[in-house]
Every structure is written in structure tokens, then in C-alpha cells.
Amino acid sequence: MTIALHSLTTGTFVPFLRNLSALLDKAAAQGHDGAALAQIRLAPDMLPLSMQVRFVCDQARFGVARLVGEEPPAVADADADADLAGFKARIERTIAYVESVAADRYRGAETRTIAFPLAADLSVEFTGEQFLRDFAFPNFYFHLVTSYDILRNQGVQIGKADYMAHIGYALRGTPPAEGSGRQ
């Protein structure tokens, strides 16, 4: 069975980006200060929420762009993302870009060579399939989960059901009462 990369990228990035936006909505609805949250880190050597959200979006944008052989569209400087509204705007621009790339643009992406620098004397080279599986998706999920963890650590009342909200279409039966399970 072959899974089209367009379906895989769009079907992964867009729902999880929407989930992240909904997590930010919950933070705002619960009265959390977005500017303060933007600066929170889980550890001193980790990036703050502002950069975690930026990198979630960058992995989706750069992932799609590299697969279809183009430069991703420019987005506002990260300094513009100083609060929840700025984060949400970046997420919406990212979703719009990912959804704008037509399926036929992915033709040949599985075997396309994708190479780019990581640092001054370090680069990587993948096939499109390897890039998506081994680089874009793991980095996307890492920064997404770190964003979730920062929000949760700061008292935003969210749980695994919020992180996994995109699977609502597949649920059968009666979900457990809120707060009745481990998160």
C-alpha cells in the first residue's frame, strides 16, 4: 500500500496545528497571560513557548516546501509572536500554506533528494520519504509536545484529549467523564 505524501503531510500537520491553536484558546479562556506564557521554558537550556510554537509551524512549512521543491513563504519575525494572538496568527498562516499546496505538486517527492545545512560544517541529505519520516515529523511532534507541556506546566487545564482532539471522528461509544483518567 502506498500513502500519498500530500495526504500524509496535510493530514498530519493541519489537524495537529488546529489542536495547538485550540490549546492556546484554552489558555486564553482560562485567563493566562499570553505574554508571560511566551517566555516560559521547561528547562533553562530549552527554548521558550514562543520559539516552540514557531518551530512547530516551521517544521510544517519547511517540511511541505522541501517535499515539493520550493522555498516556504516568508512569515513575520518571531518577535511578532509575543502573545497568544500572535501564535494563533502564525498557526493560521501555516495551515493556509500547507492546505494551499496541491496534491500534484508532491509528484516524485518520495524519492526527491532533500539536503540542507544544520550548522556551519554540518548538513543532512535525505530522500523525501526519509526526510518526512526521520526529520520533519519527529521535529514537528517534539516542538508540539513541548508546547503542550509548557502550557500544562503553567496550569492551563488541558489533557491528552485536547492534544488528540483531531481523532474525534473515530471515537465510538461514550467518552469517560472529564477528569476521570490519567493525562
pLDDT per position as a tens digit, 43-76? 999 999 999 999 999 999 999 999 999 988 877 6
Say if residues 28 and 88 touch (Cβ distance below 8 Å): no
Q: Tell me 73's DSSP state.
A: P
CB atoms near residue 153 (< 10 Å): 12
CA-closest candidate to residue 87, choices 25, 137, 149: 25
Q: Take residue 78 and report the three cell numbers written for it.
A: 518571531
Q: What is the average pLDDT across 145-173?
A: 91
d(CA 29, CA 47): 24
Question: Does the domain made of 5-166 have the CATH classification 1.20.120.450?
Answer: yes
pTM over 0.85: yes
d(CA 26, CA 147): 13
Task: Examine the pLDDT at 169 and tell me if it is beyond 90.
Answer: no
Among 62-66, 76-80, 139-143, 148-152, name the one with the lowest average pLDDT.
Answer: 76-80
